[in-house]
Amino acid sequence: MKTIRFVAVSWLLQFKMIMRSPFDGIGNVLYPLFFATTAFFVFRAGDSPRTLIYASLGAAVMGMWSSVSTSAGSAMQRERWWGTLELLVVAPRHFVLVLLPSTLGLASVGIYNLVATLLWGRFAFGIDLTIEHPFLFALAVVVTVLSFAGLGLLFAVSFVRFRAAWVLGNFFEYPVWLIGGFLVPLALLPAWVHPISWVLAPTWGMSAIRGAALGGHPLRDALVCLGLGAAYVAVAVLVSQRVLRAARERGTLSLT
Amino acid sequence: MIVAARIFFVGGLTSFRANWYWLTPWIYIPTMLIAPLFQILLFAYIGKSAGLESNEFYLIGNALQYASIPCLFAMAQMIGGERFQNTLSAILVSPAPRIPLFFGRSLPVILNGAFVAGFSLAVGALILGVRFPAGSIAPLALVVLIAALSCTGLGLVNAALSLRIRENAVLSNVIFGFLLIFTGANVPLDALPGWMSTLAQGLPFTHAIEAARQLAAGASLGDVADLLGAEVLVGAIYGVFGYLLLRWFEVLGRKHASLERS
């Protein structure tokens, strides 16, 4: 119970900070909308049977991923800049538990991205989206947010040895947009890309959200997405222990 | 004259090196060389998924449009970077003539922008299997240079706004987004609403992208001269406007003591 309260309170604090950040709270929400708009125009002008609804859902999840990938990679780095990393590391709670609310907060902003993109599609392009399974849709969104937070956490602890961690976060934005099945069906990509897509939670999250919205069977995809999210957190725990031990031994915790 | 040339060339290069000291290969390669390739691939596949246009269309559009990242961000950094290092006031209080001072800082930005776009075009063509006629290579290089020059003009406006706006990274991203939609990089201009394609005529890249596509289709440099002229004109107008805006905001900054506000 104490742990849940700790995560909830920390999440709220992080969420408030993110929403007041011009880059994370405004920039990261606006930026994917430009890509969504471009995609809407491309799909509207094209002659593919894939509809604007397909593009709308894909663009919406693209926005969710953007809010995580760009900033989560540098979540730990930010604490370092602020001079709070040492305090967090010596806190009695496990460090991953301390850092998780930060990436969870970023992933939560993704819900705002999702809604903003769907509304933008509705009002600017007339994309009338009817959700076939509203409950499963909500469930798929929550599962996707959780798994994105897990992947963001893995990024945060993995990139901490790089001074330019933010670059790596940015770097993963386009590739996941491309191979996550958001706007491009996996069948169009080369066969060697498919296994990479399958180990990425965004691929399954996208599939679950699309299945719930358009009338498929999203439960299996949602479960795989959640499972991958849990696996990312488990790996992040192991990585963080190694990284923190190495940083203490070498006295590089406050390296900037 | 010698002083002005010195401020233009030496000052411009020194400023670029000072403001971008942190741009190591670890940062430059992922952001300037690999990211545009993924942008090209993303839209080439979106185009395939939507059944619209060819690989060549998206390759040219995105390779050129990506020059906006180095051009817009570097010009904004011209102000933001100096402010961050507490050198902005020292520069603006100096009696140095402003035209070589500001435009000299643009030269390395143009060259870097052209390099990024040229690299993306060449490597993107190899990845996507796009072949350009041998005779179009040199004219394409000229188009890339003109596109970078034109966008740096807009970058000067961005730099001026950075004297009044703290979040120049967000502003640069927003301008990048508008260029992505409006310039015909990914959506044919005739598929955009009329007001958007009209507005596109006044933006950097629109004419350069069209010229590059015509060259790749076998047109000669003479055939696209009017498009290149329009692109240069657009860049020049933004450049002059940006310069005037810089001077105006400089005066306002002194008046309101807001130059160092960060």
Q: For B150-169, what is each residue's pLDDT tens digit?
A: 999 999 999 888 888 877 78
Q: What's the pLDDT at B90?
A: 82
Q: How many residues does chain B have?
A: 262
Q: Comparing C-alpha atoms, which of B108, B110, B96 is closest to residue B67?
A: B110
Q: Are residues B187 and A174, on separate chains, in Cβ contact within 8 Å?
A: no
Q: Comparing C-alpha atoms, which of B72, B91, B253, B254 is closest to residue B163?
A: B253
* pLDDT for residue B261 is more than 70: no
Give the nearest chain B residue to A189 (CA atoms). B45
Q: Which residues in chain A are contacts of B41 at CB distance < 8 A?
A: 174, 178
Q: Where are the alpha helices (DSSP H) in chain B?
A: 2-6, 12-19, 25-28, 35-50, 55-65, 68-84, 88-93, 98-104, 106-128, 137-161, 168-182, 194-200, 206-216, 225-256
Q: What's the pLDDT at B138?
A: 94
d(CA B171, CA B191): 27
Q: What's the pLDDT at B200?
A: 95
On whether residue A109 sits in a domain, the answer given is yes
Q: How far is CA A199 from CA A145, A163, B114, in A?
A: 16, 27, 37
Neighbours of B242 (CB within 10 A): 24
On whether residue A255 sits in a domain, the answer given is no
Give the one of B51, B169, B174 whose C-beta lies nearest to A30's C-beta.
Answer: B174
Q: Average the pLDDT over A2-24 and give the result.
A: 84
Q: For B163-203, what is each residue's pLDDT tens digit?
A: 888 777 888 989 999 999 999 999 999 999 999 999 999 99
d(CA A127, CA B58): 25
The residue with tokens 């609403």 is B193
d(CA B238, CA A9): 48
* Mean pLDDT taken over chain A: 86
Q: Comparing C-alpha atoms, which of A19, A106, A134, A115 is closest to residue A59?
A: A115
On whether residue A236 sits in a domain, the answer given is yes
Task: Tell me which of B79 and B74 has the higher pLDDT.
Answer: B74
Q: Which residues in chain B are contacts of A48 at CB distance < 8 A?
A: 49-52
On whether residue A227 sits in a domain, the answer given is yes
B226 Cβ under 8 Å from any chain A Cβ: no
Q: For A141-195, what is each residue's pLDDT tens digit?
A: 999 999 999 998 888 888 776 777 778 778 888 899 999 989 899 999 999 999 9
* pLDDT for residue A22 is more than 80: no
d(CA A54, CA A46): 13
d(CA A113, CA A67): 8
**What are the tokens at A237?**
């725990």
Looking at the 3D structure of chain A, how many domains does it have? 1
Q: How confident is the model at residue A61 (pLDDT cuts 50, 70, 90)?
A: confident
B90 Cβ under 8 Å from any chain A Cβ: no
Q: For A222-254, what is each residue's pLDDT tens digit?
A: 999 999 999 999 999 999 888 888 888 888 777
Q: What's the pLDDT at A118?
A: 87
Determine the structural domain holding residue A169 and report its residue range: 2-250
**What are the tokens at B127?**
């990845």
B51 Cβ under 8 Å from any chain A Cβ: yes
Q: What's the pLDDT at A25?
A: 66
Give the nearest chain B residue to A50 (CA atoms). B50
Q: For B237-252, what is each residue's pLDDT tens digit?
A: 999 999 999 889 888 8
Q: Which residues in chain A are contacts of B192 at CB distance < 8 A?
A: 41
* pLDDT for residue A49 is more than 70: no
Give the one of B38, B47, B180 whose C-beta lies nearest to A178's C-beta.
Answer: B38
* pLDDT for residue A24 is more than 80: no
Q: Which residues in chain B are contacts of A164 at CB distance < 8 A?
A: 22, 24, 26-27
Interface test with A, best of B170, B174, B186, B192 (most A CBs within 10 A): B170
Q: Are residues B49 and A35, on separate chains, in Cβ contact within 8 Å?
A: no
Q: Average the pLDDT over A85-91 and give the result.
A: 85
Interface predicted TM-score (ipTM) of this complex, two decimals: 0.87
Q: Assign residue B53 a region: left if phi > 0, alpha if psi is -120 to 50, beta otherwise?
A: left
d(CA B116, CA B167): 24
d(CA B172, CA A30): 12
Give the one of A44, A46, A167 whose C-beta lies nearest to B27's C-beta.
Answer: A167
Give the nearest chain A residue to B22 (CA atoms). A164
On whether residue A13 sits in a domain, the answer given is yes
On whether residue A38 sits in a domain, the answer given is yes
Q: What's the pLDDT at B233?
A: 97
Task: Tell me which of B228 and A15 has the higher pLDDT.
Answer: B228
* pLDDT for residue B113 is more than 60: yes
Q: What's the pLDDT at A229?
A: 94
d(CA A71, CA A27): 11
On whether residue A68 sits in a domain, the answer given is yes
User: Is residue B176 a contact partner of residue B261, using CB atoms and an 8 Å limit?
Assistant: no
B181 Cβ under 8 Å from any chain A Cβ: yes
The pTM is what? 0.89
What percent of chain B is modeled with pLDDT above 90?
Answer: 58
Q: What's the pLDDT at A255?
A: 66
Q: What's the pLDDT at A121?
A: 87
Q: What is the CA radius of gyration of chain B?
A: 19
Q: What's the pLDDT at B142?
A: 96
Domain boundaries, chain B: 2-20+29-256
Distance from CA of A154 to the nearest CA of B (A): 19
Count chain A–chain B contacts defined by CB atoms under 8 A. 111
Q: Are residues A188 and B181, on separate chains, in Cβ contact within 8 Å?
A: no
Q: What's the pLDDT at B214?
A: 95
Q: How confident is the model at residue B128 (pLDDT cuts 50, 70, 90)?
A: very high
Q: Comparing C-alpha atoms, which of A251, A99, A77 is closest to residue A164?
A: A77
Q: For B35-65, what is each residue's pLDDT tens digit?
A: 999 999 999 999 988 888 899 999 999 999 9
* Mean pLDDT taken over chain B: 90
Give the nearest chain A residue to B170 (CA atoms). A27
Task: Tell me which of A124 and A24 has the higher pLDDT.
Answer: A124
Interface test with A, best of B20, B33, B38 (most A CBs within 10 A): B38
On whether residue A27 sits in a domain, the answer given is yes
